[in-house]
Structure 1
Amino acid sequence: MDVRQRARSPLVTKVGLSVVFGAVTYIMAGLLEAETSNSTVFGLILSVFIGGIVFVVQFLVDTERRIDQMQRRLDETLGHNQREITDAFQRLYAATELFGLVETAPVETEGLLRLVRSVAQVPKDRLATRLAEAELEKVAGFLKDLGESGDVHYDGEDRDWLLGLVRVAAQSVDSVGVVVADEAGRPVVNAGLWHRDLGIRYLDEELEAVGRGVVFRQLFVLDAASFAADDDLVKLVRRHERVGGEVRLLTPEDIPGTRAATLFDFLVFDQTLSYESTPATRMKDGPPLLMTRLVTRPDRVHDRVRRFDELWRSARAVPPAE
């Protein structure tokens, strides 16, 4: 059945019902005429009148039904449009607020915009998307902790922070590395950092930073005075010297006051941020697990600067190579 046939069907029904009611009325009028001797014209007029009333009533009922349907559809459309407009204004408000935050952020605006553009280019692969979301969540947590508390913790050894800080350092890097004995009595520096890929890359970044004018002071705190003659430690000292860093050794008898009980590995960058790495625990027959922390609170960073300067003054310069 086509559209015209569907539209014609209700009209045919209305006309048919009107004719039926008119016919019934005419028959009843005929019967009444036989009893009362009224004219045929009266019966015809009455049947037409009743049929017309039936037709008009059907039309009014159908019109009311159509108006109700149109009202419901209009309400649904208005509600849908209202929700879309509200959502659009909310997105516009959020975008405006976000842009305002970007403009007032202490970091470079272009970097934040580049991050947003890069997020839009992430492939729609489910695994890749989940990885991107996890990395964004990590970055958001890092920035939140850095902005609110000034301290950021990481369970483990974080290479990105360390190498990134060396890359962006502009003035100085002061480093304290504690040298302790392993189970065989051999000295271990910075929990074995310099024998791993991270230590090698750190020295490469140190060389680049020295070329920019950054001053590096490396202090090795020895758990035993005999470590000063250890071949591996001497080689490490020379490696730092070759890339342009200044190195001193601090033996137990030269450690001032009670500092020996509170020493740990830390680096101070530009005297404004402290990177600290401390052993969290040690697995049996395995290397110690580390905990890394970034500190930006001025009072705590000042304490690290003061502690380093105190230890540096008490340390001894390494004799030049023969």
Structure 2
Amino acid sequence: MMTAIRVAADSSSVTRKVLVTVVTGGATFVITNALKQTPATSITLSVLIGGIALLIRFLSDFEKRLSSLERIEGESIVEMRRLIDETFPQISAATDLYRKIGDSALEPAVITELVLNSTRVSRESPGIVREFVQTKIKETSRLLKQIVEGGTITYYGEDREWLLGLTQTATEGIDAISIAAVDHNLWQSEIGQRYLDAQRRAAAAGRQVRRIFVLDSHGIAEDPELLKVCAEQRRMEIQVRLLARPDVPPHLKVQVRDLILFDDILAYETTPTPDSDPRNAQVSETRLVLTPDRVDECTRLFSDLWAASSEPHYMNT
């Protein structure tokens, strides 16, 4: 429609130019005739003046069009600069992000897959789905930030994802201190069985897995259920030792706590709820410790307790 209107406007402009030329030439012819000029002179002057009028009209239109083009070009340059100013930082940020993904120690395909899967959550997805996915991404982002920066990450309650994930990905070894207030029913639970199976796989893969059972008294060392647990873990190539609290070196008594060391780089600590009966205690919070000084302290604690502990009696017979 706009093209048709533009064509019609151009045709009208050409028609006006032709009419102006004809009128100018005709007027010139009439004037020269009135001045008693020869027909040849009248015609020549009419054509010349008409042509000049047409040329002037074309030059005037050309100047207008040129001015219009300059104005449009100026507006286009301003718009182009605006677009460049707006999009270049985005392109630069995207390029920098892509470079960082390529330089990351993580597999780029894994990071790309996370981003692509995130984009599959559309605006048409149910609100609860969008909010849940966004919350999980934020949690993962915060976890990654804290892991990279080091420090302590706290999970309120009993965690399972960290426990199983770290056990499955340990590359050197796993050292654990188990206290009754936390692990009293662990080995019979679903999470305990999964954790134990992950440790079995780690030991079978050649990684050193050690555990110290810290007992409230010497008599518990003869408990058949405990000896059964020790025997089961021994068959899984897990090194097991027992340590009664009275035998804990005095300077270490206040430091004894439930913890797991992964590759001597990361410590996993759990805190039981305060309860007079350890059999009813639950895990109140879980901490992931990455501070080098704190991890070194945990490593020394395990080494000292391991030296003070002993194998279950049935292993010495």
Query: TM-score when scaled to structure 2?
Result: 0.70
One-letter code aligned to 2:163: L
Aligned counterpart for 2:113 among listed residues 118, 123, 127:
118
1:208-264 Cα distance to aligned partner (Å, 9 max, x none): 111122222211223455544555544433332232212223223112215333332
1:319 equivalenced with 2:313 (yes/no)? yes
Question: Judging changes above 3 Å, is the alpha-carbon distance between structure 1 residues 55 and 194 closer, same or farther for their aligned structure 2 residues?
Answer: farther
Q: Residue 237 of structure 1 corresponds to which residue in structure 2?
A: 230
User: Deviation string for 1:31-77 (max 9, x for gaps)?
Assistant: xxxxxx97799xx9999999888766654554344223323433444
Aligned pair 1:271/2:271, yes or no?
A: no
Q: Do structure 1's residue 73 and structure 2's residue 76 form an aligned pair?
A: no
Which residue matches 2:243? 250
Cα deviation for residue 6 of structure 1 reads: 3.5
RMSD over equivalenced CA pairs, Å: 4.5
Q: Does residue 304 of structure 1 match 2:298?
A: yes
Q: Show the counterpart of 1:91.
A: 91
| Distance in 2 (alpha carbons) for counterparts of 1:314 and 1:298 | 24
Match of 1:222 in 2: 215
What are the within-5 Å matches in structure 2 for residues 87-236 of structure 1?
87=87, 91=91, 95=95, 98-99=98-99, 102-103=102-103, 105=104, 107=105, 111-119=106-114, 121-122=116-117, 124-126=120-122, 127=125, 135-180=136-181, 189=183, 192-225=185-218, 227-228=220-221, 230=223, 232-236=225-229
Q: Distance in 1 between matches of 2:157 and 2:69?
A: 65
**Equivalent-residue separation in structure 1 for 2:111 and 2:158 (angstroms):** 28
State whether residues 157 and 292 of structure 1, in contact with CA within 8 Å, keep that contact through their aligned partners in structure 2: no
Whole-angstrom distance in 2 between the partners of 1:130 and 1:26: 86
CA separation in 1, counterparts of 2:78 and 2:190?
61
Matching residue's letter, 2:120: K
Task: Out of 70-79 and 258-267, give the one that drifted further.
Answer: 70-79
| Percent identity of equivalent pairs | 27
Shift of 1:268: 1.1
**Aligned residue identity for 1:239:** E
CA–CA separation in structure 2 for the residues paired with 1:119 and 1:75: 44
Q: Which moved more, 1:58-67 or 1:192-201?
A: 58-67
What's the counterpart of residue 185 of structure 1?
A: none
Equivalent position SS for 1:320: helix
How far did residue 80 of structure 1 move? 5.3
In structure 1, runs of 5+ residues without a counterpart are 30-36, 181-187
1:5 to 5, 8, 11: 8
